């Protein structure tokens, strides 16, 4: 019987052990999509205690604690950091078979050299030991990134952000590339006109441009796109239920935007037309600059209205949605491809029922100009766990080229999340090792080792030109 989280964790055959330890383990990390706060990197922050670095903003843990009957005051409320950690420690034993159990103990081991199992009995010891280490220079956020061999990071930034923290990080000469990503979802959110009007006002301020019509709105947003490019940005990102691909005319868009400025209610059709048009404009700008565009599709957000009113968004109230993806995805990509304005694109799917759909869709728009131009992104959010990763890898393997895959990302707000890359790499090595042991692929370690290193690192480095 194997021991819990030993050196061969998730590696269930000899070939997998060789592939991981000799090829995957030492590769640097390119974390091309995450939600780390740039100000904390700029400040080279030391967190005050384990709760602050581990539980603040982590809605994965919050959902588990709520499911375990923990009162909200111990999750997002006003209880002390120790009391919140104590409730997390009480919850951990109930997370068996949830990836949180693995991640929790991987993070304790890899960052803090703590090999105890977290429980109420060990909580105080672990909290005190890790908190003491967090006060030392070795545990500043920059040094934790160095410890994990992070080479490049893509943050997630709104077009109205001034990127001053990115500028400070670059000026400091920090060797890890911290690059912004352009995420303009709020700029196309015609479902909430008051919020959109507020956003337009902020855009006028940061761009220094008066917005009185649709042409002016596009010009202001384009100026921000240019500003991001001047500050090292080469990626965009969208978090959408599905891609929008309604037909529209320029005169219709001008009329829709006039209604937005006047505060007039839009029809459902007009909302879809506006969103569809904005996506196309953003995609054209991305292609023009040679950026990579990312689309995170399929989340049904803010399901609990009562808790949303109390806590706000991004607090663990989201789930997998069952949206129809194929037709709009095809129509949107085809519209861009028809004018040869389809940028390198990563499509992330949140509903496992759609994995084969996404795996086949990317093949429709690979045109031979770039290896792996259209990517089926790694399992994300609810699917960045063992079964979700295996399902995504199997669909991509069966219907595309796994060898050209750009691999894993954290999609996290925590500086302690980098062991998720290790988790992915172990699963990948085990999957290929099983194929070797079953005689389904050759036992050519040079071929397989290169494939592993490409997926873990080299493909992403080349794809993003980092």
Do 412 and 314 lie in a common domain?
Answer: yes
Shortest CA distance to 239 belongs to which of 180, 305, 318, 342? 318
On whether residue 155 sits in a domain, the answer given is yes
Q: How many domains does the structure of the chain reveal?
A: 2
**Per-residue pLDDT tens for 113-149?**
999 999 999 999 999 999 999 999 999 999 999 999 9
Query: Looking at the DSSP assignment, which residues form a beta bridge with residue 320?
Result: 299
Domain hosting 343: range is: 14-46+149-464
Is the predicted pLDDT of residue 2 greater than 90, yes or no? Answer: no
Do 171 and 318 lie in a common domain?
Answer: yes
On whether residue 336 sits in a domain, the answer given is yes
Q: What is the CATH number of the domain that holds 408?
A: 3.20.20.140
When the pLDDT of each residue in the chain is averaged and rounded to a whole number, the result is: 97
On whether residue 69 sits in a domain, the answer given is yes
CA distance from start to end of the chain: 42
On whether residue 455 sits in a domain, the answer given is yes
Distance CA 408, CA 375 (A): 12
Q: What is the CATH number of the domain that holds 110?
A: 1.10.2020.10
Do 59 and 30 lie in a common domain?
Answer: no
- Looking at residue 414, what is its pLDDT? 96
On whether residue 57 sits in a domain, the answer given is yes
Do 252 and 387 lie in a common domain?
Answer: yes
Specify the pTM: 0.97
Do 225 and 83 lie in a common domain?
Answer: no
Q: What mean pLDDT do residues 394-420 have?
A: 97
Do 249 and 269 lie in a common domain?
Answer: yes
150 in helix, strand or coil? strand
Is the predicted pLDDT of residue 182 greater than 90, yes or no? Answer: yes
**Of the residues 112, 139, 166, which one is the last residue of a structural domain?**
139
**Per-residue pLDDT tens for 91-102?**
999 999 999 999
At a CB cut-off of 8 Å and minimum separation 6, what does 117 contact?
Answer: 4, 105
**Per-residue pLDDT tens for 222-269?**
999 999 999 999 999 999 999 999 999 999 999 999 999 999 999 999
Do 39 and 55 lie in a common domain?
Answer: no
Distance CA 340, CA 154 (A): 26
Do 378 and 277 lie in a common domain?
Answer: yes
Do 20 and 91 lie in a common domain?
Answer: no
**Of the residues 91, 116, 139, which one is the last residue of a structural domain?**
139
Is the predicted pLDDT of residue 466 greater than 90, yes or no? Answer: no
On whether residue 3 sits in a domain, the answer given is no
**Per-residue pLDDT tens for 262-320?**
999 999 999 999 999 999 999 999 999 999 999 999 999 999 999 999 999 999 999 99
């Amino acid at each position: 019987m194997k021991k819990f989280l030993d050196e061969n964790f998730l590696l269930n055959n000899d070939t997998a052990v060789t592939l991981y330890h000799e090829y995957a383990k030492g590769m640097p990390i390119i974390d091309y999509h995450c939600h780390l706060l740039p100000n904390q990197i700029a400040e080279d922050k030391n967190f005050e205690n384990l709760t602050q670095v581990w539980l603040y903003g982590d809605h994965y843990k919050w959902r588990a604690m709520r499911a375990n009957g923990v009162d909200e005051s111990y999750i997002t409320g006003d209880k002390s950091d120790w009391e919140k950690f104590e409730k997390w420690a009480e919850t951990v034993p109930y997370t068996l078979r949830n990836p949180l159990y693995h991640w929790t103990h991987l993070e304790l081991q890899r960052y803090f050299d703590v090999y105890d199992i977290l429980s109420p009995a060990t909580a105080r010891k672990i909290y005190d030991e890790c908190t003491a280490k967090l006060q030392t220079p070795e545990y500043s956020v920059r040094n934790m990134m160095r410890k994990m061999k992070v080479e490049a990071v893509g943050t997630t930034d709104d077009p109205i952000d001034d990127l001053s923290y990115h500028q400070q990080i670059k000026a400091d000469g920090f060797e890890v590339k911290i690059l912004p990503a352009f995420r303009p979802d709020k700029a196309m959110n015609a479902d909430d006109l008051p919020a959109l009007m507020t956003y337009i006002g902020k855009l006028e301020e940061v761009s220094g441009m008066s917005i009185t019509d649709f042409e002016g709105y596009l010009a202001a947003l384009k100026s921000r796109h240019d500003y991001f490019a001047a500050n090292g940005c080469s990626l965009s990102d969208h978090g959408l239920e599905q891609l929008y691909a309604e037909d529209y005319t320029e005169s219709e868009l001008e009329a829709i935007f006039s209604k937005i400025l006047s505060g007039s209610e839009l029809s459902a059709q007009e909302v879809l037309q506006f969103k569809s048009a904005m996506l196309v404009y953003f995609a054209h700008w991305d292609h023009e600059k040679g950026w990579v565009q990312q689309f995170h599709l399929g989340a049904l957000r803010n399901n609990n209205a009562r808790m949303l009113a109390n806590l706000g968004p991004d607090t663990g109230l989201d789930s997998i949605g069952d949206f129809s993806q194929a037709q709009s995805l095809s129509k949107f990509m085809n519209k861009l491809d028809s004018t040869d304005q389809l940028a390198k694109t990563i499509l992330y799917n949140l509903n496992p029922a759609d994995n084969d759909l996404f795996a086949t869709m990317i093949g429709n728009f690979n045109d031979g100009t770039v290896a792996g131009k259209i990517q089926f992104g790694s399992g994300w959010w609810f699917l960045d766990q063992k079964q979700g990763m295996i399902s995504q890898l199997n669909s991509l393997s069966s219907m595309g080229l796994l060898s050209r895959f750009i691999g894993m990302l954290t999609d996290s707000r925590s500086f302690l999340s980098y062991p998720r890359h290790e988790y992915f790499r172990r699963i990948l090595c085990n999957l290929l090792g099983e194929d070797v042991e079953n005689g389904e692929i050759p036992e050519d370690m040079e071929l397989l080792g290169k494939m592993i290193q490409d997926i873990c690192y080299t493909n992403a480095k080349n794809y993003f030109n980092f």
